[in-house]
Each structure stands twice: as structure tokens, then as C-alpha cells.
Amino acid sequence: MPELPEVEVTRLSFSEGIRGATILAARLGLPLRWPLGIQPQQLQGQTVQAVRRRGKYLLIDLSDGLLLMHLGMSGSVIFADVLALAGKHDHFDLETSLGTLRLNDPRRFGAVVFASGEDDPVAHKLLGRLGVEPLGDDFDALIFYQSLQQRKAPIKQVLLAGDVVVGVGNIYASEALFLAGIRPTTRANRLSRPRVLRLHGAIRQVLVRAVEKGGSTLRDFSNAQGESGHFQLEAMVYAREGEACRQCGTAIKSIRQGQRSTFFCPLCQKP
């Protein structure tokens, strides 16, 4: 699943190219997770003003409204002057005066949804319960500590829930917890303030590095220009079960938490 770094990398790869474009046409393929909410032809004539990100959602600001795009489990977008005819996994085309933006999603868990703005109930339903942005100024270390004090669930599960801090998905939660020296199974409310401060910094550090490396390409992720990510090549624990810890040499372990694989070093990461 594309996580926050992959979505941010995707945004950066086409946001400037499409800014100011006039929408010429829109095309829908097979149904996605949620309906567009309007007829595609109603987008014609609108201007793309900006492309933002909220959690794992791409927000395409229009002259009259907003498109919320989610990549789901297997989605990716491409933006180019000329594209081949849409294939069976291409489910949304936004043809503009500066190029065509296409969503490809083999599993169809992604979505493109129109809303009149962020105050629209449609947008609020999708964005309203998201936590703070981990790369933004609102991600305050003390507030993060206070929020975790209210949670009894394992810290990795709290990070994945997305209502305390948004977008720290499975790969980057595992990596941040390793960097902070925290066992993923440790209850969030048992973490001391100094440990939470280390985790706060680790989350920022891991996500910034992942964006710099173009995200992680585990299967077929690529940005809107078709470029793969390389963060997975320097992962410390993720998908390295049985391999030697790069820090101490102990074999990396894997457990299941909430139907997701968790990777950690039993020596470097303390309960």
C-alpha cells in the first residue's frame, strides 16, 4: 500500500506540472471504492489551482471545488503529455491543457471523489478524523506524549490508527520504532516522556528520508513520472526477518499485529 512518503513523492512529481491547467475532459473506468459524486463532464472547464496532501489523500484544488484522490492498496498515478489508450486497470483520466493525469489501480481500493471544499460533508467524512501531519508544524512532541498517555494499545497499533498522527503506515512505523529503540508491542501509555520524544524525532527523520529516496517500491510503486523509490534498500528492520540487525547483528524478528507484519530487533528495541 502506498504510504505517506509515496503519496508525497507522487504529489511532488506532478503538482507543478499540472498547476494552472484547464480541464478538458474526465473519464471514468470501472467503479472504484467510492463514486466520483458528480458527472465527469461537470469538471470540464475548471482550472487546477494546486495539489496538496492530507495524510494519504491527494487534494487537487479546482477553481470550483476539490478532488480527493486516494491510491488505495495498489494505486499509482501518471502525468504525461500523451498517454496510451486506457487499459483495464486505468480507472480515472483527467485530461488537461498541460497533460493527462491517470489513476491506475489493479485492486480498485482507491478513489477519486469530488467535494465543494474541505467543509463539504463528503470531504469531512474522509478527512475529519485524521490526526496531525507528522511533517507539519502541528506535530508537537508534548501533545504527542499527552495523546499517547491516553492509549493502552500497543504503540505500533496506535501509530497505524492515524488519529493521533496521520500517515505513519506499516513500513515507516516499524522503521521509526527501531530508530527510537522501542518494541512495537509496548503499550503506548507506558512510554516515558523521553522515549516519546525520541519516537517523535524518529518519525520525522524516517519520513523525511523516505521522501528524499522517492518512497519505497516493494512491488510496483512509481511516481507520476514512472520513477521507482529506493528507501526499501536501506530499511533497518522492515521485511528483514531472520537477517542480521544492521546495528547489533541479532536476527530480526517478525510478528503479526492487527493482520499486519511487524519487524523488530529483540535486542535494540526495548519493551
Q: What is the DSSP letter of 83?
A: -
Q: 19 an active-site residue?
A: no
CA angle 108, 111, 224 (to 5 degrees): 90
Q: According to DSSP H, which parts of the chain are helical?
A: 4-18, 121-127, 141-148, 155-161, 170-180, 193-212
- Give 120: exposed, middle or buried? Use CB within 10 Å, 0-12, 13-18, 19+: middle
- Choosing from 11, 56, 195, 198, the catalytic residue is 56
* Extended beta strands in the chain, E state: 23-28, 48-54, 57-62, 65-70, 76-80, 90-96, 99-104, 111-115, 253-257, 260-264
- Choosing from 19, 241, 260, 266, the catalytic residue is 260
Q: 3 an active-site residue?
A: yes
Q: 241 an active-site residue?
A: no
- State how far the Cα of 6 lies from the Cα of 215, in Å rounded to an integer: 5
- Choosing from 2, 5, 134, 154, the catalytic residue is 2
Q: 260 an active-site residue?
A: yes
- Choosing from 3, 8, 95, 175, the catalytic residue is 3
Strand order in the sheet with 76-80: 23-28, 90-96, 99-104, 76-80
- Positions marked catalytic: 2-3, 56, 260
